[in-house]
Amino acid sequence: GAVVSQHPSRVICKSGTSVKIECRSLDFQATTMFWYRQFPKQSLMLMATSNEGSKATYEQGVEKDKFLINHASLTLSTLTVTSAHPEDSSFYICSASAGAAYEQYFGPGTRLTVT
Amino acid sequence: AQSVTQLGSHVSVSEGALVLLRCNYSSSVPPYLFWYVQYPNQGLQLLLKYTSAATLVKGINGFEAEFKKSETSFHLTKPSAHMSDAAEYFCAVSKTGGGNKLTFGTGTQLKVEL
């Protein structure tokens, strides 16, 4: 099956700093990438959908200025959490798809801890 | 709008027993339905999916699910539980083949006991 990687797998940052998370599709071209957030013992909440070369579409309630998403190529999307605060601590998971009719493949997730 | 309800946030079975995880959906269009498994601190792995073909869908690791339109259900089953099946399971619905927005249920934690 297709492989999606995320980097870093874990990151600890201080409050007020920014952190970037990378999501890569390793063996296919991902026209669409999704970013999810998962709190402990809870389900995945879609944050935004990004299509290569265009602006991301954010879900209601997600601050686009705080969670910057870039999908500059067909194999890479980045999520930057700007001015992070402890409440941003969470498990962030990306997924990638070759298109609406195709399967969505998930990355292994990134554990963000803001101190 | 689409939604998924998973009944039972925790299910416990004995090793070798039947696994039944429940999922009911709501969709204004013919749905595409998915079951994913998540092991601790990992991403999601697709177990199986229903995409309007056969109503009984077989997936990996011996799991299967049956789409029942009249009951708006897509329950996940496995005849004989194994210790390695212990994980979190999510049911999800989409309007298309899965490369589109997925709406997830709240998840069911499966515990397998000796």
pLDDT in tens, B18-31: 999 999 999 877 88
CA B43 to chain centre: 15
Considering chain B, what is the average pLDDT of its residues? 91
Can you give the pLDDT at residue A36?
Answer: 95
Can you give the pLDDT at residue A54?
Answer: 85
Give residue-wise pLDDT tens across range B9-59. Answer: 999 999 999 999 999 999 877 888 999 999 988 889 999 999 877 899 999
Query: SS3 of A86, please?
Result: helix
Can you give the pLDDT at residue B51?
Answer: 85
Alpha-carbon distance values, A64 to A13, A31, A107, B97, B100 (Å):
20, 20, 22, 27, 20
**Which segments within A1-115 are labelled E, that is strand?**
4-7, 10-13, 19-25, 32-38, 44-51, 57-58, 67-73, 76-81, 90-97, 104-106, 110-114
Q: Which residue of A104, A106, A110, A113 to mutate against B (max B Cβ within 10 Å)?
A: A104
Can you give the pLDDT at residue B99?
Answer: 61
CB A55 within 8 A of CB A68: no
> Given an 8 Å threshold on Cβ–Cβ distance, is B41 in contact with A91?
yes
DSSP letter at A98 equals S
Dihedral (CA of B61, B96, A38, A29) sign = positive
In the predicted structure, residue A112 carries a pLDDT above the cut 80: yes
Alpha-carbon distance values, A6 to A20, A55, A111, B43, B82 (Å):
11, 21, 10, 10, 29
> Given an 8 Å threshold on Cβ–Cβ distance, is B45 in contact with A106?
yes
The beta-carbon neighbor of A43 closest among B45, B97, B107 is B107
Can you give the pLDDT at residue B95?
Answer: 76
Give residue-wise pLDDT tens across range B64-102. Answer: 999 999 999 999 999 999 999 999 999 999 876 556 788
3-state percent helix, strand, coil for chain B, nearest multiple of 5: 5, 50, 45
Give residue-wise pLDDT tens across range A19-58. Answer: 999 999 999 999 899 999 998 878 889 999 998 888 899 9
Considering chain A, what is the average pLDDT of its residues? 92
CB pairs under 8 A between A and B: 61
Give residue-wise pLDDT tens across range A50-98. Answer: 988 888 999 999 999 999 999 989 999 999 999 999 999 999 999 999 8
Q: Is residue A103 within a helix (H) or strand (E), and if so which, with residue range?
A: none
Cβ-based neighbour number of residue B90 at 10 Å: 24
Can you give the pLDDT at residue A104?
Answer: 87
CB B93 within 8 A of CB B30: no
